[in-house]
Amino acid sequence: MQIVTDRSRHRAATLLALLPATLLLLAGWTCRFVEPRSTTVDLAPFKTMASAGACAEIRNRLFLIDDQWVFWDRAGNCADAAYGETLYGSTPGEVLCVFHDSIAGPVKNCQGEGYLVMFDTMTANLDKPDLGLGSGHTVQPVPF
């Protein structure tokens, strides 16, 4: 007859709790703790830029995306450059994607394919509060 003690139950529970991690390690997976990077964006220069933006009497909106990018959407009654959407990094000088009207027609440019899908989604969903990005992203309107 085997006697089961609280101590042996605790050992069994501990071993069962460690089993998934042990199997991942045996399969070649590694775990590491990553320090979250600072994603604070200084919004003041973006607010100044948008406040002074030309041809923005129909729409003039800023959004903070995932605490690391700023999206500017503007539109107005101008013969040229009547609309424009721009995705920025952490500063107004860090332009990642642009889509705007020009005398030659619409112009779109992205710095790398990594931003293109997200930018296309946002520009196609300007009427949605989350800009079409869904629950995997945070989209915060920036008042100015």
65 vs 59: CA distance, rounded Å: 18
Q: Which amino acid is at 36?
A: P
Q: Which amino acid is at 116?
A: L
Mean pLDDT to the nearest integer, 50-55: 92
Domain boundary assignment for the chain: 44-142
pTM attached to this predicted model: 0.71
Quickly count: other Cβ atoms within 10 Å of residue 63's Cβ. Answer: 21
Instruction: Report the percent of the chain where pLDDT is more than 90.
Output: 60
- Residue 18, classified by CB atoms within 10 Å of its CB into exposed (0-12), middle (13-18) or buried (19+), is exposed
144 vs 142: CA distance, rounded Å: 6
The pLDDT tens digits of the residues spanning 64-104 come to 999 999 999 999 998 888 999 999 999 999 999 999 988 88
135 has a pLDDT exceeding 50: yes
Mean pLDDT to the nearest integer, 37-64: 90
132 has a pLDDT exceeding 50: yes
Mean pLDDT to the nearest integer, 15-34: 41
The pLDDT tens digits of the residues spanning 54-65 come to 889 999 999 999
Note whether 46 and 62 are within 8 A (CB).
yes
CA atoms within 13 A on the CB side of 24: 9
Identify the pLDDT of residue 58: 95
